[in-house]
Structure 1
Amino acid sequence: MTAQIADQLPWNPNNASFPSRKNLPKLPGAPEDAAWVWGKDDQLGRLNLLTPQRVKASAAEIETGEMLRLDLPLTVPETPAFDREVFQHNIKPLIEGIAYDDTYTMNTQSGTQWDGFRHVGHIGSKRFYNGATSADFVGDAPNHRCSIHYWAVHGIAGRGILLDYYHYAQSHNKAYDPYTTHSIGLSELQACATFQGIDLRPESEGGDIRVGDILLVRSGFVEKYGELSPEQRHAAATRSHDDLCFAGLAREPAIRDWLHDCYLAAVAGDSPTFEAWPVPEMDHLHQSLLALWGCPIGEMWDLEKLAVKCRARGKWTFFMTSAPANMPGGVGSHANATAIL
């Protein structure tokens, strides 16, 4: 495998290394910092990096075969934030006492989720990943550009890597409340990784992060949620949009450079926003990851049991799979994710 030349389009996902953020090609008609490099009709973004070769190599992470589900129950949270609909489950009798169906009514953003490429666009240009616009999603002639079903058809499987930042912070007298705007900068992530025995540099620079890895960051939201009473959970979730606060990754240039240059296939966390919230400057990580780079974002993942197992093993990498909903035109999906140790 070779290094990818920035201006040699479309890029080959099988290459061993790729251009840094500062060396991205300038694409006609695209916003600055756009990495729409996998072909004009591409719908997968960084998921292109999950090639058969990389998936096969990632299977070497499986040692015991133990499986850990990374989705919260569909009924969690009891009250979703951002005024999202509460999950509803109903059982429908077919033949009383003998046969039953059930029905779900859900907002795919109300619990453990993937943010698809239709979820957030680039604010300045109103362009979504690879140049899609809102007219592709809604209106008189919608189509399937940036639909979540492309992820489902391709599949998501590869090497996961967990940064248990919440445990690191608690262990180093840096306690914080995950329901506050606690920004996790790159230096803090690096300190967490060092504590876990991980070198956060890309493998091409001598570090431990491989092209196509799936990054999981534990910021403590799920643990804190479990400690609150139903009344406290409701009060926290129903704060006004201006008052909603969650811990997550910072938006500093160093974080953006690192997230881009590692060429992660996807990122996910346990908080409802992945990045620190709110975003007063309107410079969301979401628009960089989703709209500009085509990197899926997972939110409200259940990383509790996984964190315990990783600490016990002293090993923070594992094989993982996810099966998004095969919904043509879909914006997002519950993750349906599993780590296999």
Structure 2
Amino acid sequence: MTISRWKQRPAASNWGDFGPDDQLGSLNYITPDVVRRAVREVRTGRSLCLSLPLDYPGGNVLNPRRHPPRLRPTERDGRLVYNLPLSASAHEHTDVLCDDSVLLHTQYSTQWDSFAHVGHRFDVQGDGNPVAVYYNGFRAGVDVVGPGDPDGRPMGAHRLGIETFAVKAIQSRGVLVDLLASCGRERVYVGYDHLMRALDVARVEVEPGDILCLYTGFADMLLEMERQPDPHLLERSCAVLDGRDARLQQWIVDQRIAALCADNYAVEGIPATAASMPCARLPLHELCLFRYGIPLGELWYLAELAAALKAEGRTRFLLTAPPLRLPGAVGSPVTPVATI
């Protein structure tokens, strides 16, 4: 298949399979039938928040370029609008107002990655000249505009922005895999064999359109650290996927999951296991965001859900998790809701 943006696609990819201008990738697997199937998982009607407080993990020692939210009041006539009487006299209007603004790093805490979050240099024209592109061949500098691009257009993801996920209104069946049960808090790179054993032990079944959620205990540790994360302890703790495991990669693709989420940073292990150069530093991000359009969710809070499902002998639930409808953003905070 040839599309105007590219003459060749990565050998292992689905570029163009959902149409030449597709920006949803595997979210296309969430059909009305899949949503109805997800709704049937609701038995008790109990809803659980799957987001950390958005000021976690705390500070910026885990990622120097990302900082906690900064809240401040808005202003009205030079006055800060917080506990602000609408009228100077109590004999007039009795209203007292609070109104605030926030400086928010979109991928600081519980989040979705958009497909514009990670691209790669790839020879899309087959002329021996790799260029920076993203899922489905959308171009850096054309579709994803940076501060140094010359044509003067506003910076941001003009294609593949997070708002496309919001318009899709992500809602599907979630499937929880408890890796904490098999790994404890030890840092384990989970490959295909380990994951298959975990699925078999818990009798987990994954079907097309499901959102796969991995519980490792990492977010629990962040909460215990109370906004003072210990990077040296965390980098040695809790399960991560082995992003270079070829069989694991193929399994993720073959399941036709709608998205892949975890309660840790990046879902995959950083650093990745060794490989010959040139290669992706984040191979699972390359697979999911770049080649197949599989959204990644990071730093989700899954402990309460894991306990509730275990008590009922279940692994499936209704998951509702749209991001902010923020045009041009490459990621977004999310407050996922599990209903069981």
Identify whether the pair has TM-score above 0.5, normalized to the shorter chain. Answer: yes
CA separation in 2, counterparts of 1:132 and 1:244?
36
2:285 match: 286
1:116 match: 114
2:26 match: 46
Name structure 1 gaps, 5 residues minimum: 1-6, 11-26, 199-207
User: For residue 137 of structure 1, what is the amino acid of its counterpart?
Assistant: V
* Contact 1:246-1:276 at 8 Å conserved across structures: no
* Contact 1:122-1:292 at 8 Å conserved across structures: no
Aligned pairs (5 A) from 1:117-196? 117-124=115-122, 125=130, 126-135=132-141, 136-138=143-145, 139=149, 140=151, 141=153, 144-170=158-184, 176-177=186-187, 182-196=188-202
CA separation in 2, counterparts of 1:90 and 1:300?
25
2:72 match: 90
What SS does structure 1 have at the residue aligned with 2:98?
Answer: strand
2:100 match: 102
1:69 match: 49
1:340 match: 339
Distance 1:310 1:236, change over 3 A: same
1:19 match: none
* Contact 1:116-1:148 at 8 Å conserved across structures: yes
Deviation at 1:70, TM superposition (A): 0.7
TM-score normalized by the length of structure 2: 0.81
Aligned residue pairs, count: 296
CA separation in 2, counterparts of 1:52 and 1:99?
43
CA separation in 2, counterparts of 1:176 and 1:333?
29
What SS does structure 1 have at the residue aligned with 2:117?
Answer: coil
2:91 match: none
2:89 match: none
1:79 match: 59
CA separation in 2, counterparts of 1:326 and 1:72?
20
* Contact 2:23-2:159 at 8 Å conserved across structures: yes
What SS does structure 1 have at the residue aligned with 2:120?
Answer: coil
Taking only the aligned residue pairs, the percentage that are identical comes to 31
CA separation in 2, counterparts of 1:109 and 1:157?
20
* Contact 1:221-1:271 at 8 Å conserved across structures: yes
| Residue 274 (structure 1) aligned with residue 267 (structure 2) | yes
Name structure 2 gaps, 5 residues minimum: 75-79, 86-95, 123-129, 276-280
Instruction: Give the 4+ runs in structure 1 shifted more than 4 A.
Output: 234-237, 243-246
CA separation in 1, counterparts of 2:246 and 2:49?
33
* Contact 1:160-1:213 at 8 Å conserved across structures: yes
Q: Give the counterpart of 1:214 among 198, 211, 214.
A: 211
TM-score normalized by the length of structure 1: 0.80
What SS does structure 2 have at the residue aligned with 1:77?
Answer: coil
User: For residue 115 of structure 1, what is the amino acid of its counterpart?
Assistant: D
CA separation in 1, counterparts of 2:193 and 2:144?
39
Distance 1:123 1:176, change over 3 A: farther
Distance 1:99 1:283, change over 3 A: closer
* Contact 2:264-2:300 at 8 Å conserved across structures: yes
Q: Name which of structure 1's ranges 245-254 and 328-337 shifts more when overlaid on structure 2.
A: 245-254
Deviations 1:146-194 (A, max 9, x none): 1111111111001000001112333xxxx514xxxx3111111111112
User: For residue 186 of structure 2, what is the amino acid of its counterpart?
Assistant: Y
* Contact 1:61-1:319 at 8 Å conserved across structures: yes
Kindly indicate which of the two structures has a greater share of residues assigned to helix. Answer: 1
Deviation at 1:257, TM superposition (A): 0.5
